[in-house]
Amino acid sequence: MDMALLLQLTLNGLIVGMLYGVVAMSFVLIYKASQVVNFAQGEFLLVGAWVCWWFLTEWQLPFYAGFLFTLVFMMLFGLVLQVVVLRPLIGEPVISVIMATIGLGIFFQALMKWIFGVFAKPFPPIFAMEQVRVLGLEVQTVYLASLGVSLLIMAGFGWFFKASKHGLAMRATAFDQQVAQSLGVSVPKVFAMSWAISAVVSAVAGVVVGVVNGVSSALSFYGIKVFPAVILGGLDSILGAVLGGVIVGLLENWAHYVDSQWLNWGNMFQIAPFYGLVLILLIKPYGLFGTKNIERV
Amino acid sequence: MTALTPCGDWRASYAADTTIFPTRNSRIALLLGIAILCCAPLVFGRYELSLLINIGFLGIAALGLNILVGFTGQISIGHAAFFGLGAFVSAYLHERYHVPVLLCIPIAGVVTALIGLVFGAPAARLKGLYLAIATLAAQFILEDFFARAQWFTGGVSGRMTESPVLFGFALDRDETYFYLTLVWVIIMFVGAANLMRSRDGRALVAVRDHYLSAEMMGINLAYYRTLSFGIASLYAGIGGALYAHYLLFVSVEAFNILFSIQFLGMVIIGGLGSVMGSLMGAAFMVMLPEVTQWGADLLAGSSIDRALKLGASISFLREMVVGAAIILFLIFEPDGLARRWRLIKAYWKLYPYSH
């Protein structure tokens, strides 16, 4: 038993899990608002991180300006995707919508590889200190900042849905589209807005991961890790998505620990959440906290 | 144009209604088509033949996926993993137990079908996006298994295999392997067309169209969903086995998520719920990278090529074209090439007087 390693991995799991939670949250946002399962969520991270990298290294912008431009770009990106690709597919069967987002995913992944190459590229240093000590553990400053950013985004989501007018319109649309429409909510606008917000929030997560590990197409795997998280937490619960993300982050790090200490199978880190996912779906076909659809003929 | 009856539908018996080739002309056209295909090795070079063989085994696997997605309405994002399973089972049986390759291919199909049933039984409870997510997880788990199971797949170094031998005559050239693929394509496609007009086939379609009504009419949902998973795996296994003995080398990295997506792309581009559409979709998906390559070659040396680094990044370009093709078909032609084909036939039916 290596207690220090276990603690370190647990902390890593918590921090990475928070990021998974943020991505899962933006995934659930799209699903709740427009009933689209977005298989291209990981590519939002990828595009956001590469665009930010481009602003910082090619244009030599200071971090805050480049970051701000990235957010604006991603907002437009999400809007355009929704209007151009997803809007014509409203009312099509689930398989078509899923396939469209999968198509978007491979398109943008290949496009990013084409433009920026296949090798991971590091961000210019942003913080003066690379690492700080917390409770006797070495922690990357960026990780701490990412924890702060994640919490900030979650608080922002909470406020947005509880208090703001647009947030209420979104909740109404998620509850019942026809009722929302009859109360004067513009449903197409809500769809577009949900994609824009989701793209922006994912891009923030993408930039954070990019600053830590460098930007590469490995980022898009975060989008796939979302699925175990939302199956754990329920597809239509934002709080559940955050919890699911944290659990997945902890689970994969603990699986890695068990593997490195006793099993030595390798690759458990990547694959453990999927075993968890399959197990849960075997027992509960609608996920752990998902609402079972009651269907009538 | 040959399948269309000259003046309306007049069917006096149930058998006449469910027949696959309704007119004499359509039957003649079919035999003529097969005869022309049989002459292909005499006309085409190695390159065209290898494309045709690729279309053949990918078409078989795509047909399996179409039975699952298009006819039964169950989504699978893990088809390439089953395709790979078929390839590895066939290669393993041949190397370990020296089973003749020609026998290996159907056995690999059956073994893959059995494993598909094992995966399909729990999947029968799931539907829609939950099934999509579960099969996505299965894809990653099977991929991980391939990389891990050294005894079965040869691990990272992959597994070599051999060409089939028929009566002491090795089918190791494109010209001869083409006939083997053609035979399997005909068997599998006739099999699927017949399945669709049987009691089981109609049950599958009923499950897709309205599963609650189907259940009320006495169709066992779990049974038919599992069955369709098994059939899809059978087709994937046979396609995979043909792939293994054609390339003579099976690598664990080949059966990734992108390959699964390409299968789904074939089914969507070809037309959901269309038997011939699967073959058209496979042909489209095989030709797409070739056309991309051709386009890039055409631009080679020009200023566009230099500015965009086309030559160096052709593999990314191919992936992008696949993604773009899927999206464009979903938006502009959701019923796929099969519908286009029907429209073309309908146009020629009344040719000079179509208005």
State pLDDT tens for residues B29-75.
888 988 888 888 888 888 889 999 999 999 999 999 999 998 998 88
Mean pLDDT of B219-242: 93
A293 shares contact with chain B (CB less than 8 Å): no
State pLDDT tens for residues B329-352.
999 988 889 888 888 887 777 777
- Break chain A into its structural domains and give their ranges: 3-283
* Mean pLDDT for all residues in chain A: 84
Chain A residues touching B124 at Cβ < 8 A: none
Mean pLDDT of B210-229: 90
pLDDT given at position B109: 94
The span from the CA of A151 to the CA of A153, in Å, is: 5
Neighbours of A166 (CB within 10 A): 15
| DSSP code of residue A84 | I
H-run or E-run covering A132: strand A131-134
Mean pLDDT of B301-310: 72
Which conformational region is residue B167 in: left (phi greater than 0), alpha (psi within -120 to 50 degrees), or beta? Answer: left
Q: How far is CA A295 from the centre of its chain?
A: 30
Contact A55, A66 (CB under 8 A): yes
The span from the CA of B335 to the CA of A93, in Å, is: 12
* Mean pLDDT for all residues in chain B: 86
Contact B65, B240 (CB under 8 A): no
State pLDDT tens for residues A20-76.
998 998 898 888 888 888 899 999 999 999 999 999 888 888 888 888 999 999 999
Contact A126, A64 (CB under 8 A): no
State pLDDT tens for residues A248-297.
999 888 888 888 777 767 666 778 888 888 888 888 877 777 667 676 66
Neighbours of A90 (CB within 10 A): 13
Q: Which CATH class is domain B43-353?
A: mainly alpha
H-run or E-run covering A139: strand A137-140
State pLDDT tens for residues A210-228.
888 788 888 888 888 888 8
CB contact under 8 A, B323 and A287: no
A258 shares contact with chain B (CB less than 8 Å): no
Mean pLDDT of A183-198: 90
Q: How far is B100 from chain A (nearest CA, A)?
A: 34
Q: How far is B167 from chain A (nearest CA, A)?
A: 45
CB contact under 8 A, A277 and B134: yes
State pLDDT tens for residues B131-144.
888 888 889 888 88
Partner A, chain B 165-224, Cβ-Cβ below 8 Å: 210, 212-213, 216
Between helix B221-247 and helix B199-209 the angle, nearest 10°, is: 110
Is pLDDT of B127 > 80? no
Is pLDDT of B1 > 50? no
CB contact under 8 A, A102 and B261: yes
Mean pLDDT of B261-285: 92
Query: B76 is written with which tokens?
Result: 């699978």
State pLDDT tens for residues A98-151.
889 999 999 999 999 888 888 888 887 776 666 777 666 677 777 778 788 888
CB contact under 8 A, A102 and B334: no
Q: Least CB-CB distance to B323: which of A89, A106, A281?
A: A106
- Break chain B into its structural domains and give their ranges: 43-353
A89 shares contact with chain B (CB less than 8 Å): yes
pLDDT given at position B287: 92
Query: Residue A133 in 3-state DSSP?
Result: strand
pLDDT given at position B325: 93
The span from the CA of B83 to the CA of B238, in Å, is: 8
Whole-Å CA distances, B308 to A113, A137, A286, B218: 12, 47, 46, 59
Is pLDDT of A165 > 70? yes
Query: Architecture of A3-283 per CATH?
Result: Orthogonal Bundle (1.10)
Q: Least CB-CB distance to A271: which of B144, B268, B326?
A: B144
The span from the CA of B194 to the CA of B19, in Å, is: 9
Mean pLDDT of B78-94: 92
Report the percentage of chain A scoring pLDDT > 90: 19
Q: How many CB pairs under 8 A join A and B?
A: 125
